[in-house]
Chains A and B, each alone.
Chain A
């Protein structure tokens, strides 16, 4: 059974800092890994999707890396802003689960001015 863990559970940083969110998964046989953002009272917004054959994806100030063999992914946020405050969720799709995402519990990020 796939298990996804995110560290830290919560993070508070001053504006402008570069930061790293961590995600680990127990079964390395994944199809892809996705990072989502969730704002309070809202649904999830997909940020980045990394296929199992890729090592990283970038979008603006966000960069996600994937090390499938070690079961790890990191989300790097450059020059953080107060608008980045949200919960960030990592999810993996198993190699044989046909689209079933297994989510981590999320990292609550607060960026203060």
Chain B
């Protein structure tokens, strides 16, 4: 069974630039999550999708972050414009049902200079 795929693996940008991350969940998984993990901290949920609808985006900085999940499969997370404090690993996860076992991708490490 293929796992959760994320790209790119690494990204370095300057502040005020824009960046986008892509995630392909495990086939058939209806729930998709984006997490932000700052060095030395646990992951923090940014947004949760159920199929292509948003379930929770309460911690997403909506003035600069946006996410979409077209056709209930792939998802993209965008930051525009980026700030220094956005430097983190962005993790995508999926699950077959809400509140059940999550499968994580390897993440995208973002450095904002």
A residues adjacent to B (C-beta < 8 A): 4, 31-32, 34, 36, 41-46, 49, 89, 91, 93, 97-101, 103-106
Q: A34-B101, A98-B55, A99-B100 are in contact. List 9 more A-B contacts (CB 8 A).
A: A42-B106, A43-B105, A46-B102, A49-B100, A98-B99, A100-B45, A100-B48, A103-B42, A105-B42
Q: Number of residue pairs across A and B with beta carbons under 8 Å?
A: 62
Chain A residue at minimal CB-CB distance from B40: A105
A91 and B95 CA atoms in complex are apart in Å by 15
Asked if B98 contacts A98 (CB within 8 A), the reply is yes
Residues of chain B with a CB closer than 8 A to A104's CB: 42
Asked if B41 contacts A99 (CB within 8 A), the reply is no
Asked if A101 contacts B102 (CB within 8 A), the reply is yes
Residues of chain A with a CB closer than 8 A to B101's CB: 34, 46, 49
A43 with B44, Cβ < 8 A, contacts A34-B101, A98-B55, A100-B56 known: no
A104 and B41 CA atoms in complex are apart in Å by 8
Asked if A99 contacts B104 (CB within 8 A), the reply is no
B residues adjacent to A (C-beta < 8 A): 4, 31, 33, 40-45, 48, 55-56, 91, 93, 95, 98-107, 109
Chain A residue at minimal CB-CB distance from B43: A103
Asked if B55 contacts A99 (CB within 8 A), the reply is yes
A42 and B95 CA atoms in complex are apart in Å by 18
Asked if A93 contacts B104 (CB within 8 A), the reply is no
Residues of chain A with a CB closer than 8 A to B45's CB: 100-101
Residues of chain A with a CB closer than 8 A to B4's CB: 43
Residues of chain A with a CB closer than 8 A to B43's CB: 44, 89, 101, 103
Asked if A43 contacts B48 (CB within 8 A), the reply is no
Residues of chain B with a CB closer than 8 A to A97's CB: 56
Q: How far is the CB of B28 from chain A (nearest CB, A)?
A: 16
Chain A residue at minimal CB-CB distance from B6: A43
Q: How far is the CB of A18 from chain B (nearest CB, A)?
A: 25
Residues of chain B with a CB closer than 8 A to A45's CB: 104
